Amino acid sequence: MKNIFKKSLFILPVLLLASCNFKYSYNIAGLPNDGGDMFDDDVEDSGTYDIKVWVTDKIVSLTKSQIGQFVASSGGKYTLNVTVEPVGEDKAAAQMLLDVQNGADLFCFAQDQLSRLKVAGSLAKLSDKYVDALTEEMGQEAVNAAKVNSDVYAFPITSDNGYFLYYDKSVVSEEARTNVTSILAACKGAGKTFNFAAKANGFYAPAYFMATGCHSNWTLNSETGKFESYDDNYNSDKGLIAAKALRELDDSKTVTNDTQASKLGTSAGAVISGIWEYEVAEKNLGENLGCAELPNFTVDGTSYHLSSFDGYKLLGVKPQVDAKKASVCRKLAKFLTSEDCQSERFERVKWGPTNIASSEKPDVANHIGLKALKDQHQFAYPQGQCPSGWYNSLAATATTIKAGLDESALQDLLANYEASLAELLDD
């Protein structure tokens, strides 16, 4: 069998925001649309400040502790009244887009939401001083993930926003884990499930289509925040190959449309998910936990490698009217994305560092989950921008792909998908 892999630029968001009508606000209640050029990073900013921070619930306590470290390291220069609220990366961007004024001063989000947040006036541009420091500490690729055009608008905080294969080594062998068909057979033989949400989730369904060379590129106007056009070839011969492959997952007894590694060791033999599921997977399986790049699938005698996303999570700083508070917020964001803080987050919750020194530490470099993500990197595609409704369109199409459908029926489904795209463009 011939293995085909052709990498094309596939621009998609990695997190599904709830369907809503984003209302962009400009110059909200006196907030500057772009505060980066207005403030001097070296201003005298000692004092007392009220600061709101949004992070996922998993690191609320840790973030409070790290902010305490920041205050202590200032030698009494700052008194911070900080509220750390559990707002995850999948919700923070949507909430900031709807209400910048009452949003957090610092907040985590996935890189696919960067342009929209910038247009909404939710992000302060970083000065050259910060950009130079981030480039030295994290590398150009990480800094590019925080760019809109030529300017940087956020601090990279993780480089692990993708997915890979978790498997129970007592159920799925090293040989079996390399192919979807053999994983299904191993799980079915053991009375276990294969948890893969490709037929019900617009985040995972692209794994098949990207593997066969499909792309869906959306053009976003960085000034207005509106999607103006798209270039999508899902309704094609390449898309038909992916659709034919998805028929194999139409097995209600073996495949479940979820990503919960908590079911490993009980009902599941294999799960496709991200590093955020690692702790529970390790707890459940112990030495039987296996992590690897995604498997291959075969259609009409040709083998393809499942693709994935490859992205960053970012820490944004909201523009401030008070130049002193703006300075403190940027310094705090820089501290929270420093080598020490990223290393501590890896130790606690196994997040993948963007800091080069942190990522090169043996415990990080040898971590089996992060290694699997790294091995999958060559088959991964960068995150970008697209309408939130794109996920729903693709998920709806994947859900209707059933085992008994012939090629003509599959082509009709892809044509219906293509027809739905024009409705996703902003008026």
Sorted by where each begins, the domain ranges of the chain are 28-160+311-372, 162-310+387-424
Per-residue pLDDT for 12 more than 50? no
Architecture of domain 162-310+387-424: 3-Layer(aba) Sandwich (3.40)
Per-residue pLDDT for 71 more than 80? yes
CA distance 384 to 363: 30
Q: Which CATH superfamily is domain 28-160+311-372 in?
A: Periplasmic binding protein-like II (3.40.190.10)
Q: What tens digit of pLDDT does each residue of 221-275 get? A: 877 778 889 999 999 999 999 999 999 998 778 999 889 899 999 999 999 999 9
The answer to whether the 28-160+311-372 and 162-310+387-424 domains have the same CATH topology is yes
pLDDT of residue 427: 52
In this prediction the pTM is: 0.83
Percentage of residues of the chain with pLDDT beyond 70: 90
CA distance 310 to 111: 10
Q: What tens digit of pLDDT does each residue of 318-355 get? A: 999 999 999 999 999 999 999 999 999 999 999 999 99
Q: Where are the alpha helices (H) located in 355-400, listed in sequence order?
A: 356-359, 362-365, 368-376, 389-399
Residue 300: φ, ψ to 5°:
50, 40
